[in-house]
Amino acid sequence: MKKLSIIIPVYNEISTVEIIIKKLVKLKLYNESTKEIIIVDDSSTDGSSDVIKKYETEYDFIKAIYKDKNKGKGDSQKLAKKYVTGDYVIIQDADLEYEPDDINKLLKIAIEENKDFVIGHRQMKTSINHPYFYFRELAVNLLTFLMNILYKTSIIDCCCCYRLFDAKLWNAIEGKSDKFEYDFSIICQAIKKTKKIGQCPVYYKSRAYKDGKKCTWEVGIYAFKRIILDRF
C-alpha cells in the first residue's frame, strides 16, 4: 500500500481553504493508498490559520506548519519537505483552481506505469474576458516550446501546477527560488533527473483576475531564465 503526501501552501485563502481541506479529507485515493496532508500557512492575515487549526486538531493525518513571516510559496514547499513521509508527493494549491479528484489520475499513472514524475496539462478555458488570459496562454505555449526544445521532452503544459513526484525524486531536487517561481525550477530539475515522466489532462478553473495572485510578466521572465539556466 502506497502513501501520498499532499502539500498545501496557503497564504490568505480564507474563501477557499476550508473547502479544499474538506475535499481532501473525503478523497479516497487510488489503490487504497493512504494520505497525509501537510499544510503550510505562510503567515496569513485573513483568518486562514484559524481554519487550518480546526482541521489539524480534528484529523491526525493533517500536519500544519505556521510561519512567522511571509516568505513565499517556494519557501513553504521547501519547509514541508522536512515532514514528508509518503511514497509520493503532490502540491495542492489552496485556491480551488485545481480539482482534488484529479489527484487519482496522476497517482494511478505513477503507480501503474512506474513513473517518477507525473504532470497535468490544463484544459485552459475561461469565460473571463480580460487581456491577461490571452497573454497567459501565449506565454504558456512559448515556455513549453522552449522547455521541450532544450530538454528534449514532450511536455504539454510546463506551467501546470498539478505535479506528482516520487518521494525520492522530490527529495533530490532543490528549487532555486523561495517565491512562486520555485514551481518552474523544480520541473526543470525533475525532467533532468528522470525520463520516467507521465502526463494527463486535469480540470482547471482560473480564478478571476480581480482576485489577484496571478503570474506577472516578471514571473514569465524568471521562468524563461530558469529553463535556460537549469539546462546547462
- Which CATH number goes with the domain that contains 189? 3.90.550.10
Each residue's pLDDT tens digit, 164-200: 999 999 999 987 776 767 888 899 999 999 999 999 9
The count of domains in the chain is 1
Each residue's pLDDT tens digit, 12-51: 999 999 999 999 999 999 999 999 999 999 999 999 999 9
Instruction: Round the average pLDDT of the chain to a whole number and report it.
Output: 90
Residue 216: which residues within 8 A CB-CB, separation 6 or more?
none
Phi and psi at residue 8, to the nearest 5°: -120, 105
Whole-number percent of the chain with pLDDT over 70: 89
pLDDT at position 207 is: 62
Q: Which of 55-59, 97-101, 178-182, 189-193 has the lowest mean pLDDT?
A: 178-182
pLDDT at position 223 is: 83
pLDDT at position 34 is: 98
Residue 170 structural domain:
3-231
Taking 80 as the threshold, does the pLDDT of residue 204 lie above it?
A: yes
Q: What is the 3-state secondary structure (H, E, C) of 70-97?
A: CCCHHHHHHHHHHHCCCCEEEECCCCCC
Q: Which of 88-97, 126-135, 168-177, 194-203 has the lowest mean pLDDT?
A: 126-135
Taking 60 as the threshold, does the pLDDT of residue 73 lie above it?
A: yes
DSSP string, 27-69: PPPGGG-EEEEEEEE---SSSHHHHHHHHHHH-TTEEEEE-SS
C-alpha cell at 197: 515522466
